[in-house]
Chains A and B, each alone.
Chain A
Amino acid sequence: MDTLMLSRIQFAANISFHILFPTINIALCWFLVYFRLRHSATRDTPQAQAWEEAYYLWTKVFALTFALGVVSGITMSFQFGTNWPGYMERAGNIAGPLLGYEVLTAFFLEATFLGVMLFGRSRVSDRVHLVATLMVAAGTTLSAFWILSLNSWMQTPTGYTIVDGVFHAKDWWAIVFNPSFPYRLTHKLLASTLTVSFLIAGLSAWQLVRGTANDGTQRALRAAVTAAAIAIPLQIFAGDLHGLNTLEHQPAKIAAIEGIWKTEKSAPLTLFGFPNEKEGRTDYAIHIPKLASLILAHDINAELKGLNEFPNAHPPVAPVFWSFRVMVGMGMLMLAVSWWCAWTLWRKRAQPSIALSRWQLRALVAMTFSGWVATLGGWFVTEIGRQPFLVYGLLRTADLVADHAPGMVLSTLIAYLAVYAFLLVSYIFVLVYMSEHPAMPTPETPLSPKAATPIGGPA
Chain B
Amino acid sequence: MTFTWPTVLPLIFMAVMGLALLAYVILDGYDLGVGMLLPFAADDEKDLMVASIGPFWDANETWLVLGIGVLLIAFPKAHGLVLSALYLPVALMLIGLILRGVSFDFRVKARAERKALWNRLFFAGSLLASVAQGWMLGSYLTAFDRGLLSLLFSLGIAVTLPTAYAMLGAGWLIMKTSGPLQAKAVAWARAVLWPMGAALVGISLATPLVSHNIFDRWFAMPQFIGLLPIPVACAAAFFAAFHVTARPRVIEAGYGWVVFASTVLLFMLAFLGLAYSIYPYIVIDKLTVWQAASAHDSLVVIFVGVAVTLPAIIVYTVFMYRVFWGKASALSYGLRP
- Residues on A lying within 8 angstroms of B by beta carbon are 52, 56, 59-60, 63-64, 66-68, 70-75, 77-78, 80-83, 85-86, 88-89, 92-94, 96-97, 99-101, 103-105, 107-109, 111-116, 118-124, 166, 168-169, 172, 402, 404, 408, 412, 415-416, 419, 423, 426, 429-430, 433-434, 440-441, 443-444, 446-447, 449-451, 454-459
Chain A, residue nearest B81 (CB): A85
B83-115 at interface with A (beta carbon < 8 Å): 83-84, 86-88, 90-91, 94-95, 97-99, 101-102, 104-106, 108-112
Contact of A169 with B297 at beta-carbon distance under 8 Å, contacts A71-B98, A116-B320, A443-B334 already known: yes
- Interface residue count on the B side (C-beta < 8 Å): 74
* B240 interfacial contact with A, CB 8 Å: no
**Which of A67, A119, A123 is close to B104, meaning CB atoms less than 8 Å apart?**
A67
**Which of B91, B97, B102, B334 is close to A121, meaning CB atoms less than 8 Å apart?**
B334
* B213 interfacial contact with A, CB 8 Å: no
* B80 interfacial contact with A, CB 8 Å: yes
Say yes or no: A168 contacts B295, CB within 8 Å: yes
Chain A, residue nearest B314 (CB): A108
Q: How far is the CA of A97 from the CA of B305 in the complex (A)?
A: 9
Say yes or no: B334 contacts A447, CB within 8 Å: yes
Chain A, residue nearest B318 (CB): A112
Say yes or no: A122 contacts B51, CB within 8 Å: no
Pairs across A and B, CB under 8 Å, 17 listed: A70-B61, A72-B98, A80-B72, A88-B76, A89-B77, A93-B294, A94-B298, A99-B72, A99-B73, A103-B65, A104-B310, A112-B59, A120-B324, A402-B84, A447-B332, A447-B334, A457-B108
Say yes or no: B301 contacts A97, CB within 8 Å: yes
**Which of A67, A85, A105, A172 is close to B79, meaning CB atoms less than 8 Å apart?**
A85
Say yes or no: B309 contacts A104, CB within 8 Å: yes
Per-residue A-contact encoding for B65-76, CB less than 8 Å = 1, 0 else: 110111111101
Q: How far is the CA of A441 from the CA of B90 in the complex (A)?
A: 43
Chain A nearest CB, measured from B172 CB (Å): 15
**Which of A93, A124, A458 is close to B298, meaning CB atoms less than 8 Å apart?**
A93
Q: What chain A residues lie within 8 Å of B71 (beta carbons)?
A: 81
Q: How far is the CA of A80 from the CA of B69 in the complex (A)?
A: 11
Q: What chain B residues lie within 8 Å of A107 (beta carbons)?
A: 62, 65-66
**Which of B69, B109, B330, B336 is close to A446, meaning CB atoms less than 8 Å apart?**
B336
Say yes or no: B95 contacts A458, CB within 8 Å: no
Chain B, residue nearest A163 (CB): B295
Say yes or no: A451 contacts B330, CB within 8 Å: yes
Q: How far is the CA of A353 from the CA of B171 in the complex (A)?
A: 53
* B47 interfacial contact with A, CB 8 Å: yes
Q: What chain B residues lie within 8 Å of A458 (beta carbons)?
A: 47, 50-51, 54, 108, 330-332
Q: What chain B residues lie within 8 Å of A97 (beta carbons)?
A: 73, 298, 301-302, 305
Chain B, residue nearest A108 (CB): B313
Q: What chain A residues lie within 8 Å of B106 (beta carbons)?
A: 64, 426, 430
Chain B nearest CB, measured from A76 CB (Å): 9
Say yes or no: A412 contacts B91, CB within 8 Å: yes
Contact of A96 with B302 at beta-carbon distance under 8 Å, contacts A88-B80, A433-B110, A451-B332 already known: yes
Per-residue A-contact encoding for B281-300, CB less than 8 Å = 1, 0 else: 00000000000001101100
Interface SS, A side: helix
Say yes or no: A92 contacts B79, CB within 8 Å: yes
Say yes or no: A116 contacts B55, CB within 8 Å: yes
**Which of B91, B94, B309, B324 is close to A123, meaning CB atoms less than 8 Å apart?**
B324
Chain A nearest CB, measured from B68 CB (Å): 6
Say yes or no: B295 contacts A93, CB within 8 Å: yes
Q: What chain B residues lie within 8 Å of A60 (beta carbons)?
A: 109, 333
Say yes or no: B72 contacts A96, CB within 8 Å: yes
Q: What chain A residues lie within 8 Å of B204 (beta carbons)?
A: none
Q: What chain B residues lie within 8 Å of A104 (beta carbons)?
A: 66, 305-306, 309-310, 313
Chain A nearest CB, measured from B82 CB (Å): 7
Q: What chain B residues lie within 8 Å of A404 (beta carbons)?
A: 84, 87
* B3 interfacial contact with A, CB 8 Å: no
Say yes or no: B333 contacts A456, CB within 8 Å: yes
The 3 closest A-B pairs by CB, nearest first: A85-B80, A115-B55, A81-B83
Q: How far is the CA of A447 from the CA of B330 in the complex (A)?
A: 10
Contact of A64 with B91 at beta-carbon distance under 8 Å, contacts A70-B61, A89-B80, A101-B305 already known: no
Q: How far is the CA of A447 from the CA of B336 in the complex (A)?
A: 6
Contact of A103 with B66 at beta-carbon distance under 8 Å, contacts A88-B79, A115-B320 already known: yes
Say yes or no: B88 contacts A105, CB within 8 Å: no
Q: How far is the CA of A426 from the CA of B104 in the complex (A)?
A: 13
Q: How far is the CA of A103 from the CA of B227 in the complex (A)?
A: 35
Say yes or no: B332 contacts A455, CB within 8 Å: yes
- Told that A99-B72, A120-B323 touch, could you supply 19 new A-B pairs with CB distance under 8 A? A70-B61, A74-B65, A77-B68, A81-B72, A81-B83, A93-B295, A97-B298, A103-B65, A108-B62, A111-B61, A114-B58, A115-B59, A402-B80, A404-B87, A408-B87, A408-B88, A412-B88, A434-B109, A440-B334
Q: What chain A residues lie within 8 Å of B61 (beta carbons)?
A: 70, 74, 111
